[in-house]
């Protein structure tokens, strides 16, 4: 689950440039060990730590451990990911949180899987039997949000919110990176699903934080932000479905108000409930407008998707290499 043959590590190191990207905020306790673990797992990779306004000694500890340290002043993981993807040139990118909860020794296996299949992303799905590592609230929230994304965009991943992934160059350089905070994982997932990229998922060990290290994730606040991001992405990428749902709700409401008025008019020739009649007509008209907006925006979205696909294809893809296992 968490390792790769020594030959695979050597083969990967000789043939590609690997960048390990670690966004950090107040991770003084864990970051030194994280950097050392990845230097051991991927000896020739360059370890990049981007500090996000830490008030502790994160930068000093990371630098002492051998990482290249830079600073991103815009607060939020999404801002850090955007900066890292823009700044760093490599063939393969390993994105991992700096809290020490992910298994660095799994990195060669993740990279090997990506290269064997010529993939653009390999997601490390979290496996643990430690309650302290993966709280029930986070497990439930992840399942609900992952299930929602799977329903809307296609079921290809089981752990959408994992902070440990390997990317090809063309994924990184075509990723728009518009989010600001922890919702960046949702954006990464939807980017891969929308462009129908070749992706895979491997189970990896997940452990609790070290003593003295605290999580920056807020279950309810960040869960709401992620849900909002999913809704926004659905509106942008699935506008016909989004506005059709709104139109259907408005149409049902309009009929609920209008049918009794019409029946009464047919029976008596009078419209005693004029406000209900006006409201019903208004709701039905707005419902029709919503359907029309969905149709128009669906055509616009198709054009945007074609443009995004061309931007994605403009970058060199990963080389499919069945021989990396040596």
Rounded average pLDDT over 253-259: 92
Residue at 254 is within a domain: yes
Residues 252 and 231 in one domain: no
Quickly state the pLDDT bin for 63 (edges 50, 70, 90).
very high
Instruction: Kindly state whether residues 62 and 79 are assigned to the same domain.
Output: yes
pLDDT value at position 314? Answer: 87
The verdict on residue 242 lying in a domain is yes
Same domain, 48 and 137: yes
Same domain, 25 and 81: yes
Would you place residue 129 in the very low, low, confident or very high pLDDT band (cuts 50, 70, 90)? low
Phi, psi of 49 (to 5 degrees): -110, 120
As a whole number of angstroms, the distance between CA 105 and CA 4 comes to 8
CATH number at residue 167: 3.90.550.10
Closest CA to 134 of 126, 125, 123, 143: 126
> Which of 217, 236, 255 is at the close of a domain?
236
Question: Does some domain include residue 229?
Answer: yes
Average pLDDT over residues 257-271: 85
**pLDDT at residue 287 tops 90:** yes
161, 102 contact by CB (below 8 A): no
pLDDT digits (tens, 9 = 90+) for 267-281: 887 878 888 889 999
134 or 287, higher pLDDT? 287
Of 192, 213, 236, the last residue of a domain is 236
Q: What secondary structure letter does DSSP report for 133?
A: T
State the pLDDT confidence band at 304, using cuts at 50, 70 and 90: confident
Same domain for 35 and 173? yes
230 plus 256 within the same structural domain? no
Identify whether residues 153 and 47 lie together within a single domain. Answer: yes
Query: Can you give the pLDDT at residue 226?
Result: 80
Confidence of residue 325 (pLDDT cuts 50, 70, 90): very low
At 155-197, the pLDDT tens digits run 889 998 899 999 999 999 999 888 888 789 999 999 999 999 9
Count structural domains, the chain: 2
The domain in which residue 301 lies consists of 238-313
Domain co-membership, 45 together with 145: yes
182 and 83 in a single domain? The answer is yes
Distances (CA, A) of 297 to 24, 82, 151, 210, 235: 38, 27, 21, 48, 9
On whether both 203 and 290 belong to a single domain, the answer is no
Q: Examine the domain organization and report whether 228 and 302 are in the same domain.
A: no
pLDDT tens, position by position, 68-84: 999 999 999 999 999 99
């Amino acid at each position: 689950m968490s390792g790769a043959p020594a030959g695979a590590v050597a083969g990967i190191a000789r043939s590609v440039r690997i960048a390990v990207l670690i966004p950090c905020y107040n991770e003084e306790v864990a970051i030194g060990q994280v950097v050392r673990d990845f230097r051991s797992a991927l000896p020739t990779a360059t370890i990049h730590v981007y500090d996000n306004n830490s008030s502790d000694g994160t930068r000093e500890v990371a630098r002492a451990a051998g990482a290249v340290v830079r600073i991103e002043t815009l607060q939020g993981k999404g801002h850090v990911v955007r900066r890292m993807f823009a700044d760093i040139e490599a063939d393969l990118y390993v994105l991992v949180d700096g809290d020490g909860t992910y298994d660095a020794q799994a990195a060669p296996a993740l990279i090997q899987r990506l290269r064997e299949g010529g993939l653009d992303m390999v997601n490390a799905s979290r496996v643990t039997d430690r309650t302290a590592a993966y709280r029930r609230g986070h497990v439930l929230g992840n399942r609900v949000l992952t299930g929602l994304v799977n329903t809307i965009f296609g079921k290809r991943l089981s752990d959408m919110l994992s902070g440990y992934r390997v990317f090809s160059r063309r994924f990184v350089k075509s990723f728009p990176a518009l989010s600001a905070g922890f919702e960046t994982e949702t954006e990464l997932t939807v980017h891969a699903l929308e462009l129908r990229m070749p992706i895979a998922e491997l189970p990896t060990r997940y452990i609790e934080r070290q003593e003295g290290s605290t999580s920056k994730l807020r279950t309810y606040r960040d869960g709401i932000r992620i849900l909002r991001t999913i809704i926004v992405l659905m509106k942008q990428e699935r506008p016909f479905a989004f506005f059709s749902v709104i139109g259907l709700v408005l149409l049902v409401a309009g009929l609920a108000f209008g049918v009794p008025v019409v029946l009464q008019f047919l029976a008596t020739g009078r419209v005693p409930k004029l406000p209900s009649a006006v409201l019903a007509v208004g709701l039905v008209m707005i419902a029709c407008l919503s359907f029309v907006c969905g149709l128009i925006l669906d055509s616009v979205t198709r054009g945007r998707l074609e443009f995004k696909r061309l931007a994605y294809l403009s970058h060199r893809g990963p080389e499919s290499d069945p021989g990396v296992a040596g």
